[in-house]
Amino acid sequence: MGEPAGTRLDVDGIMNRAAAAAEAFRRCDQEHTDRIVTAVYRAGFDQRIPLAKMAAEETGLGVWQDKVIKNVIATRFVYENIKTLKTVGVIAENEEAGIVEIAQPIGPIFAVTPITNPTSTVLFKILIALKARNPIVIRPHGAARKCSIEAARICYEAALAAGAPEHCVQWVRRSTEEETLALTRHRKTALILATGSEALVRAAYSSGNPAIGVGPGNVPVFIGKTADVPFAVDQIVMSKTFDHGTVCASEQALVVRACHAAETRRLLIERGAYFLTPEEIRRLETVAFNPATRVMRVEVIGQPAEKIARMAGIEAPAGTRLLVAELEDVGPHTPLSLEILAPVLAFYVAEDIDQAIALCRKINHNGGLGHTISMFSNNEERIRYFASTMNAGRILVNTPASQGALGGTYNALQPSLTLGCGTGGKNITTDNISARHLLNIQRIARRRVSPCIGPEMMAAYLDETVDALALERRCAEMEAGAARPGDPAGEPPKKT
């Protein structure tokens, strides 16, 4: 539920209600939790089309039919991935090691959601939060407020009908920057799930509370010597035009081996791509990129190629689906080599694999560290070599990057609308984030005495004449003669 419109945000009230919901959620068993999650999934899935249309109309970004697919991934594919996940009580037991793992909810989650994938991100974050028995507070992007809140309302009502705690889902209609920061810093906020601008993610990480954020994409895609070029071009065009390029994992630059360059150009043109002249590239740069902020201009995000061409005074042919800029360099001085969440694609030609790798690494290092890299190849040795040189959490092979990075559709990656970028992107993980990341795991550790801490070994540790090799031999001997299971030497003392 949300706060009344037109009032100053009651941050303490929101978080107090979330904390009360968290306490109530702790009393839910696995069956009850799964019943809630199933109800929320079904309600979100059933409204996938109205929510997609609402998102496209409100934001003016993308294609509603593609937003339907995003909503399907966020509900159906995510649900199928998490529905059997154990998130309550004992989730693993290792009798030999004497370790029992117990899942506990982390508590209230504050979730910031973007304009580019508004309803799908809301549906996704609510599903994974409730699966882990965590209440969630949604703070939507201001330009996607209506559709995001409607998605949250649908989920909340379905959760309540299935017996979820009151206030397990809340949303913020409007908040000042100060109020948003107060929510991130609140002592009752257990975790921040931040999807949005780099500045927003940095604010989440500096809040003093745990945070899971994401980084920018700027995804290079490499067409190697052994690639099936027509297939590769089909997949790239399908992916880059998906929802007009609003997925952060959409291809941003195409790096093609010279032997395939002419064929790739021809096939792209056949599929609706328009190759820009040098003068048109300069015009588009000023329209697509803001040199002061060094990021893409919001006016081009999620817009069709023909509209972007008109904005730049470019006479692209009718039916143009993709604007392609042939470039030689990478960096802020070449703006179209950077992340543009629109159907705009940079194009590079590489003479050999090493030049291709150098280009992909340079693109990756200019605004995409840790995120995603795509390649088309049928040479397994080359695939592994290429992957080993890249700083990316996802190396997608023969796959459309937009859909492939989200997982579950073109590969077995975990379906997710929050893609970790690891330390390269200043994130804690390279994983596709899901319910298991929203759990605290307790570990019961039963007594299992290591042979290497017995009296003889303790004396050896204190003996300066015993070096590492001698110590390793002694420890191996002790382990070889260690007590068998049930031997009193490894058991706690018994009362007599």
| Domains of the chain listed by start with CATH number | 11-214+435-443 (3.40.605.10), 219-409 (3.40.309.10), 452-490 (no CATH)
Give the integer Cα–Cα distance in Å for 11 and 258.
58
Q: Region 149-175: what's the mean pLDDT?
A: 97
Q: What is the pLDDT of residue 486?
A: 46
What percentage of the chain has pLDDT greater than the value 70? 96
Q: Pull the structure tokens for residue 131.
A: 């699966």
Calculate the alpha carbon distances from 115 to 52, 195, 226, 251, 375 in Å.
12, 10, 38, 19, 28
pLDDT tens, 439-485?
Answer: 999 999 999 888 888 888 999 999 999 999 999 998 888 888 765 44
Choice among 16-25, 99-108, 422-431 with the minimum mean pLDDT: 422-431
Sign, Cα dihedral of 377, 382, 388, 390: negative
Comparison of pLDDT for 297 and 196, the residue scoring more: 297
Q: Assess whether pLDDT exceeds 60 at residue 255.
A: yes
Q: In the chain, what is the greatest distance between 2 CA atoms, to the nearest angstrom?
A: 94
3-state secondary structure of 351: coil
Q: Which of 73-77, 335-339, 394-398, 448-452 has the lowest mean pLDDT?
A: 448-452
Q: So what's the pLDDT on residue 492?
A: 52
- Rounded to an integer, the average pLDDT of 9-20 is 97
What local confidence, expressed as pLDDT, does residue 4 receive? Answer: 57
Q: In the prediction, which pLDDT does 395 show?
A: 97
Task: List, by residue number, the catalytic residues.
Answer: 248
Question: CA quadruple 387, 389, 392, 393: dihedral positive or negative?
Answer: positive
What pLDDT is attached to residue 81? 98
Please report the pLDDT score of residue 199 as a whole number: 80
Distance, CA of 38 to CA of 40 (rounded, Å): 5
Mean pLDDT on 342-348: 98
Which of 7-11, 110-114, 297-301 is predicted with the least confidence, judged by mean pLDDT? 7-11
Share of the chain above pLDDT 90, in %: 88
pLDDT of 59 > 60? The answer is: yes
Q: How confident is the model at residue 337 (pLDDT cuts 50, 70, 90)?
A: very high
Q: Is the dihedral of CA 367, 371, 376, 377 positive or negative?
A: positive
Residue 164, pLDDT > 50, answer yes
pLDDT value of residue 441: 97
State how far the Cα of 346 lies from the Cα of 254, in Å rounded to an integer: 6
Contact 229, 398 (CB under 8 A): no
By C-alpha distance, which of 236, 214, 247 is closest to 62?
247
> What pLDDT does 496 receive?
44
How much is the average pLDDT of 360-375?
95
- How many angstroms separate the CA atoms of 443 and 445, rounded? 6
CB-facing half-sphere around the CA of 97: CA atoms within 13 A: 9
Q: What is the DSSP letter of 68?
A: H
Query: So what's the pLDDT on residue 454?
Result: 87
pLDDT of residue 495: 52
Confidence band of 202 (pLDDT split at 50, 70, 90) = confident
Question: Across residues 206-228, what is the average pLDDT?
Answer: 94
Q: Report d(CA 368, CA 391) in Å as an integer.
A: 9
Instruction: Please give the torsion angle defined by the CA atoms of residues 237, 238, 243 and 248, in that order, rounded to the nearest 10 degrees.
Output: -70
Residue 424 has pLDDT above 50, yes or no: yes
* The pLDDT of residue 216 is above 80: yes
Q: Is the pLDDT of residue 154 over 90?
A: yes
Higher-confidence residue of 426 and 326: namely 326
The reported pLDDT for the residue numbered 93 is 97
> Given a cut of 90, is residue 294 above it in pLDDT?
no
Q: How far apart are the first and last CA of the chain?
A: 60
Residue 493 pLDDT > 60, yes or no? no
375 with 221: CB under 8 angstroms? yes
pLDDT for res 489: 44
- Average pLDDT on 267-295 reads 96
Average pLDDT over residues 197-217: 88
Pairing of strands 295-296, 289-290: antiparallel
Mean pLDDT of the chain: 94
pLDDT at 3 over 90: no
Would you state the pLDDT for residue 12? 97
Asked whether the CA dihedral 283, 285, 289, 292 is positive or negative, the reply is negative
Which band of pLDDT confidence, cut at 50, 70 and 90, is reported for residue 198?
confident
